[in-house]
């Protein structure tokens, strides 16, 4: 008995030392984890500060460039206005010079015409004087002729012929003079007409040149105004983009700060819960130890009482034997037969080798399964008290010393507890029940977010028309510098890939809303509805020949709304319930979302996520489809056969 107590004390001393070493190791690991978190926070803060400084420098540089561009535009405007003023002054001087030249030409022409009219007038006066003189001479000749006729009738007859000849010659001369005058008048009138036509033509040419110059000046001014307006719009757009980038950066910093504060709050709350659970576990262990000590004292008292009872029965038997020596003794009654120790007494002292094997077994298995209450209350009679009962068929539960999350198991404490319980009799009271099990989340992805616009994905793959059987590029969570915080952010502007844990945006994977023509969603618990016979009859076979298959098979708006509602109902109830139950031993069912873009390469993005994120897909796709930037966006369900083929391609690529 003393040896058993010494061994028990030695085991308890070793258990205390192991507990102390385990506690020190855990405190050391907690300090190291806290230092690592602080270093990570400091590095992240330094990185955020550098990013903020870089953004501020870029903003300052852009503002400087914008200011320089604005000054250049103002200088160009001033030079343009100066050039316009010079051009207007030059044009005015040119117009004045041309007007002066025209006035000089008109004045010279008027002087020439006046001189010509004066000459014509003098010539006409001279001709009239000559005519009058000729008429006077003719009258004188007629008088002389009459006198000569009176005086010389005979000579008149002789001279009639000569006089007629002279008259004819004079008439011819007059006719020739008249014709010459008419010809001169015609030439003069023709010259005047040519001069008038030339002046009119010059006037029209000057008016046309002025009109062309005016139109050219207006066109240049209009082009300059349009260029200034475009530059101003570009500058305003650049300023708005810069402000949007600054606001987005500020919002991202605030969001990251809020996430850090929320994470720190959750970590602090989790640490408090850990400490509370640890204190509760230590309190339960202390209570169990006290109860075990009391039970051991009761057991020792019962054993002492049993030994005294056996001693008294032995004395009575000796007295009866002495009396039997004197006379023939009758057969002893059954109640006076010596009793053997009860089986529980032998069960309280098991051999040491099984205890050592049990301890080694518990050390090799750091996560032992906690037996149910029924199995602890009704152990088999032939089994030793220290043997670990079989696990139950329900969900696995950790030992009460490991009930709190985040701390490693403590095999020495389990060993000491099991060895101490092995020393108690089988009919002792059962140990208190363990704490209720916490819901275990899938270990494949440790990052979650309640934001319905952010879907935590496992990977994203890109296919093109030239690479349809093997992804051309991919991003996998937890590999190649990508953290577990890989999310698909869905908004009315499109689909975007971000890394929330690293605060990094993969802009090369952006898919704008106007460039997406088809979104296909795969849920293993949802069967897409078949196409109606009416739509299949209207399908044009020429569309398939020329590659317009998506447009030919597009669902109506009502059908797409029905598909999204069905997916939201299935994924929000069945898939969410399955993920909340921890999958119940079933394999994790993955969901897929495939986005088909309308570009020259016919790119296709395939997003893979777990079923616990499936409830976000339908709502996000509906918001994207109802957004103002979506252009004829179709939504369809992806069949099981095609999804299996796609998953086979992805596995082959990996």
DSSP 537-576: HH--HHHHHTT-HHHHTPPPHHHHHHHHHHHHHHIIIIIH
pLDDT of 593 reads 93
pLDDT of 490 reads 92
CB-CB contact of 517 with 638 (8 Å):
no
Q: Using 50, 70 and 90 to split pLDDT, how confident is the model at 582?
A: low
Q: What is the crossing angle of helices 411-422 and 2-151, to 10°?
A: 150
pLDDT of 612 reads 87
pLDDT of 535 reads 46
Q: What tokens were used for 139?
A: 């009258």
Classify strands 486-491 and 504-512 as parallel, antiparallel or unpaired.
unpaired
pLDDT of 323 reads 78
Lowest mean pLDDT among 47-51, 329-333, 348-352, 649-653: 348-352
Distance CA 213, CA 615 (A): 70
514 versus 556: which is more confidently predicted? 514
Classify strands 634-637 and 516-522 as parallel, antiparallel or unpaired.
parallel
Q: Using 50, 70 and 90 to split pLDDT, how confident is the model at 419?
A: very low
pLDDT (tens digit, 9 = 90+) per residue, 616-628? 998 999 999 888 8
pLDDT of 552 reads 43
Classify strands 604-609 and 634-637 as parallel, antiparallel or unpaired.
unpaired
State mean pLDDT over 517-541.
Answer: 70
Q: Using 50, 70 and 90 to split pLDDT, how confident is the model at 540?
A: low
Distance CA 218, CA 213 (A): 8
Lowest mean pLDDT among 207-211, 572-576, 644-648: 572-576
- Decide if 466 is inside a domain: yes
- Decide if 391 is inside a domain: no
CB-CB contact of 281 with 23 (8 Å):
no
pLDDT for 519 beyond 90: yes
CB-CB contact of 499 with 485 (8 Å):
yes
- Decide if 646 is inside a domain: yes
Distance CA 442, CA 613 (A): 12
pLDDT (tens digit, 9 = 90+) per residue, 228-260? 988 888 888 888 888 888 888 888 888 888 888
Domain count, the chain: 1
Which range of 23-27, 277-281, 395-399 scores highest in mean pLDDT? It is 23-27
pLDDT for 513 beyond 80: yes
Report percent pLDDT > 70 for the chain: 76
Quick one: which of 557, 564, 555 has its CA closest to 532?
555
pLDDT for 401 beyond 70: no
pLDDT for 568 beyond 80: yes
pLDDT for 443 beyond 70: no
CB-CB contact of 624 with 560 (8 Å):
no
Distance CA 496, CA 487 (A): 8
Q: 């704490």: which residue's tokens?
A: 435
Q: What tokens were used for 225?
A: 């105004």
State mean pLDDT over 331-354.
Answer: 42
Q: What tokens were used for 457?
A: 């994905």
Distance CA 116, CA 639 (A): 106
Other Cβ atoms within 10 Å of 411 Cβ, number: 23
Distance CA 412, CA 34 (A): 26
Distance CA 233, CA 85 (A): 27
In Å, how far from its chain's centre is CA 324?
A: 105
pLDDT for 585 beyond 90: no
Q: What tokens were used for 17?
A: 């030392």
pLDDT for 328 beyond 60: no
- Decide if 544 is inside a domain: yes
321 versus 157: which is more confidently predicted? 321
pLDDT (tens digit, 9 = 90+) per residue, 126-161? 888 888 888 888 888 888 877 877 787 877 777 788
330 versus 280: which is more confidently predicted? 280
What's this model's pTM, rounded to 2 decimal places?
A: 0.34
pLDDT for 537 beyond 60: no
pLDDT of 327 reads 58
pLDDT of 408 reads 36
Distance CA 338, CA 474 (A): 83
Q: Using 50, 70 and 90 to split pLDDT, how confident is the model at 168?
A: confident
pLDDT for 392 beyond 70: no
Q: Using 50, 70 and 90 to split pLDDT, how confident is the model at 366?
A: very low
- Decide if 249 is inside a domain: no
Q: Using 50, 70 and 90 to split pLDDT, how confident is the model at 123?
A: confident
Per DSSP (E only), the strands in 230-356 are none
Distance CA 523, CA 578 (A): 13
Please name every residue paired with 169 in a beta bridge, in sequence order, or none if there are none.
Answer: none
pLDDT of 594 reads 94
CB-CB contact of 317 with 336 (8 Å):
yes
184 versus 576: which is more confidently predicted? 184
In Å, how far from its chain's centre is CA 405?
A: 35
Q: 């296919």: which residue's tokens?
A: 463
Quick one: which of 516, 514, 499 has its CA closest to 460?
499
Q: Using 50, 70 and 90 to split pLDDT, how confident is the model at 475?
A: very high
- Averaged pLDDT score across all residues of the chain: 77
223 versus 433: which is more confidently predicted? 223
Q: 């199995």: which residue's tokens?
A: 375
- Decide if 83 is inside a domain: no
Q: 């002292």: which residue's tokens?
A: 349
522 versus 536: which is more confidently predicted? 522
Q: 């152990």: which residue's tokens?
A: 379
Q: For 252-270, what is the HEC assignment?
A: HHHHHHHHHHHHHHHHHHH
- Alpha carbons within 13 angstroms on the beta-carbon side of residue 370 total 20
Q: What range does the domain containing 609 cover? A: 449-653
pLDDT for 186 beyond 50: yes
Quick one: which of 414, 412, 340, 326 has its CA closest to 370?
414
* Coil/strand/helix, residue 304: helix
pLDDT of 640 reads 87
- Decide if 497 is inside a domain: yes
- Decide if 624 is inside a domain: yes
Distance CA 273, CA 275 (A): 5
């Amino acid at each position: 008995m003393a040896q058993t107590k010494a061994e028990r004390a030695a085991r308890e001393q070793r258990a205390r030392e192991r507990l102390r070493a385990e506690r020190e190791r855990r405190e050391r690991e907690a300090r190291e984890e806290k230092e690592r978190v602080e270093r990570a926070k400091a590095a992240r803060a330094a990185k955020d500060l550098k990013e903020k400084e870089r953004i501020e420098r870029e903003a300052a540089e852009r503002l400087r460039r914008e200011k320089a561009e604005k000054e250049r535009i103002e200088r160009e405007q001033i030079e343009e206005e100066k050039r316009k003023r010079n051009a207007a002054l030059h044009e005015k001087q040119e117009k004045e010079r041309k007007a002066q030249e025209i006035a000089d030409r008109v004045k010279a022409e008027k002087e020439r015409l006046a001189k010509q009219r004066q000459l014509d007038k003098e010539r006409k006066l001279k001709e009239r004087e000559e005519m009058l003189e000729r008429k006077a001479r003719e009258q004188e000749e007629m008088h002389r002729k009459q006198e000569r006729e009176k005086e010389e009738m005979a000579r008149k007859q002789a001279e009639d012929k000569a006089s007629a000849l002279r008259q004819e010659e004079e008439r011819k001369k007059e006719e020739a003079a008249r014709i010459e005058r008419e010809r001169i008048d015609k030439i003069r009138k023709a010259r005047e007409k040519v001069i008038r036509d030339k002046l009119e033509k010059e006037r029209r040419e000057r008016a046309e040149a002025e009109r062309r110059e005016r139109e050219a000046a207006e066109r240049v001014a209009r082009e300059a105004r349009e260029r200034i307006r475009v530059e101003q719009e570009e500058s305003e757009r650049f300023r708005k983009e810069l402000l949007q980038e600054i606001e987005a950066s500020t919002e991202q910093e605030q969001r990251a700060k809020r996430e850090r504060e929320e994470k720190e709050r959750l970590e602090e709350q989790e640490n408090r819960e850990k400490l509370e659970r640890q204190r509760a576990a230590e309190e339960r262990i202390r209570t169990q130890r006290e109860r075990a000590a009391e039970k051991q004292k009761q057991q020792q008292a019962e054993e002492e009482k049993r030994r005294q009872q056996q001693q008294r029965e032995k004395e009575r038997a000796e007295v009866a034997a002495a009396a039997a020596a004197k006379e023939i003794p009758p057969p002893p009654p059954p109640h006076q037969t010596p009793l053997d120790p009860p089986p529980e007494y032998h069960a309280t002292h098991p051999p040491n080798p099984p205890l050592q094997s049990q301890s080694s077994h518990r050390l090799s298995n750091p996560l032992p399964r906690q037996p149910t209450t029924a199995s602890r209350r009704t152990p088999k009679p032939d089994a030793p008290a220290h043997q670990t009962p079989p696990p139950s068929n329900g969900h696995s539960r950790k030992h009460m010393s490991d009930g709190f999350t985040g701390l490693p198991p403590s095999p020495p404490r389990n060993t000491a507890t099991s060895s101490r319980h092995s020393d108690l009799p089988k009919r002792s009271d059962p140990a208190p029940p363990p704490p209720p099990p916490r819901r275990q989340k899938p270990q494949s992805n440790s990052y979650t977010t309640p934001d319905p616009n952010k879907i935590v994905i496992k990977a994203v793959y890109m296919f093109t028309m030239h690479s349809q059987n093997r992804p051309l590029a991919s991003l996998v969570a937890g590999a190649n510098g990508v953290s577990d915080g890989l999310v698909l952010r869905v908004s009315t502007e499109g689909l975007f890939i971000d890394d929330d844990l690293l605060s990094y945006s993969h802009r090369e994977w952006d898919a704008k809303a106007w460039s997406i023509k088809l979104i296909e969603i795969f849920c293993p618990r949802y069967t897409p509805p078949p196409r109606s016979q009416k739509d299949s009859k209207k399908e044009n076979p020429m569309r398939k020949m020329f590659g317009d298959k998506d447009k030919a098979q597009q669902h109506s708006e009502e059908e797409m709304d029905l598909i999204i509602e069905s997916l939201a109902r299935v994924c929000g109830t069945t898939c969410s319930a399955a993920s909340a139950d921890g999958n119940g031993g079933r394999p994790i069912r993955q969901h897929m979302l495939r986005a088909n873009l309308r570009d020259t390469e016919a790119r296709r993005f395939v997003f893979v996520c777990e079923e616990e994120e499936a409830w976000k897909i339908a709502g996000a796709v509906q918001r994207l489809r109802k957004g103002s930037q979506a252009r004829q966006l179709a939504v369809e369900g992806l069949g099981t056969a095609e999804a299996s083929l796609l998953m086979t391609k992805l596995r082959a690529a990996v």
